[in-house]
Amino acid sequence: MTEPALQNAFLFRQPILNHREELAGYQLSFGSGDESAAACSRTGSGATAALCAAYSELGMQSALGNSCAFIDIDSDFLQERAIELLPPAGVVLELMLDDVPDKATLARCHYLRDRGYTLALARYRGIDDRSRPVLPMLQVIKIDIDTASESELRDLAGSLRHLPLKLLAQGVASREQMECCRRLGFELFQGRYFAQAEVVSGRRLSASQAALIRLINLVGRDVDTIVIEDAFKHEPALTLNLLRVVNAVGHRGGGLAQPVTSLRHAITLFGRRQLQRWLSLLLLAPHGGTADPARSPLLQVAALRGRMMELLVPVGHVNDHKLADLAFITGILSMMPAALGLPIEEILEQIAVEPKVRHALCQHEGLLGTILALLERFDSDDAEGCDRLLSVLPGAFDRHTLNTCLSVALRWLNSTGD
């Protein structure tokens, strides 16, 4: 069942953030736009079994790094031994209980909790006969904010205030909703609101953002290294970060036979391709935040999209290394409107890019544009949209390719040795 499941459905993920707006995990789910693949997802147990298989087969434990996978578990699958193949430290088991839990369900919850698994209760509607028996074993309570008013959310959160539980708000669509839930005591937030910043034409960039754009343009052009070095010297904080990154990369890869002797030496060791990528990611970092993609959700989405685009290019356009490089930059730049609050057209007036990248970002044209559109639909859990775009791409593009690419890109993103 595992191989058909991976081929016949998309492995979707929705980010879950903590109260500091850092990535805490992903809600994993299978989605399909046709009836043949929907068979396993019509019953909760079938969908969960497929997810467990995907988690194992795609190596999701190493791919997710320090992030947890939130997986729905219904009362039937709760009794399956397959759950124990999942690593306790890597998953959160979301209990999908429709009825009052029986003795077997409670005994199984006790057993899994004793084994170190984190248990969550989904679709919480208040303390009742369904939730009361399992509350002592739970670490997370999940509340769908789409189905409750603010006063109802206040009552639901208040009933749990004195319990050692984390409240997770599901369906957060805006920063206003997130802030409201945070005031009510929620600590976890599920949704993509962080990647949907308000875009305003003519917005002014900060001094640090303008400096980064100047450096990105210099690195992307064929200018002497001494010119790039001089530009860095005017940005001491960036210079310090660059030296730290070059040293860290060298120590991990064993590539530094001697210490970095100068800023020019660091630029040469890092390489212009990697330097351009690093600067582009820094431009996505939240103000006053960290440039670590594993902690910033917007950086994570951008780096992941860039890497997936880079991996997908050879599927339809073999051995074009330049196009693969352009694909990575296209993926990162596609998140710039959310980071900078500017339309992509205005961003591209300030950052020099090749025509293929511009056409992909502004009109979704060419191979890069179609792959970008595919990943945008993939990020939106749009199975039908993904299928439509997969059908027009050249080469061996299919659902399994996309799922595998996601796992490989996540592993790259969370790797400490690459």
pLDDT of residue 41: 43
CATH code for the domain in which residue 157 is found: 3.20.20.450
Q: Are residues 338 and 388 in the same domain?
A: yes
Q: Which residue has the higher pLDDT, 386 or 60?
A: 386
Residue 39 pLDDT more than 50?
Answer: no
Of 195, 216, 239, the one marking the end of a domain is 195
What's the pLDDT score for residue 179? 93
Last residue of a domain, one of 166, 195, 224: 195
- The answer to whether position 98 is within a domain reads yes
Give 169's strand partners: 143, 189
Say whether pLDDT at 180 is over 60. yes
**Which residues form the domain of 360?**
207-413
Residue 360: its pLDDT value, please?
A: 97
Average pLDDT over residues 326-341: 92
Residue 86's pLDDT band (cuts 50, 70, 90) = confident
Cβ–Cβ < 8 Å for 12, 381: yes
Residue 7, pLDDT score: 64
Which of 172, 195, 218 marks a domain boundary? 195
Is position 201 within any domain?
Answer: no
41 and 182 belong to one structural domain: yes
In terms of domains, do 118 and 267 share one?
A: no
pLDDT of res. 222: 78
Quote the CA–CA distance of 72 and 55 in Å, as a whole number: 13
- Percent pLDDT > 70 in the chain is 87
**Residue 234 and residue 162 share a domain:** no
Strand, coil or helix: what is 375?
Answer: helix
The residue-averaged pLDDT of 224-241 equals 89
**Residues 223, 272 share a domain:** yes
- The Cα–Cα gap between 172 and 191 comes to 5
Q: What is the pLDDT of residue 228?
A: 93
pLDDT of 43 strictly over 60: no
Instruction: Please classify residue 332 by burial: count the beta carbons closer than 10 Å to its beta carbon, then call 0-12 exposed, 13-18 middle and 19+ buried.
Output: buried
Judge if 136 and 251 occupy the same domain.
no
Q: Quote the pTM value.
A: 0.85
pLDDT at 4: 53
Q: How many domains does the chain have?
A: 2
CB burial string 283-312: b at 16+ within 10 A, e below = bbbeeeeebebbbbbbbbbbbbbbbbbbbb
**Distance (Å, whole) CA 185 – CA 17:** 14
What's the pLDDT band for 2 if we cut at 50, 70, 90?
Answer: very low
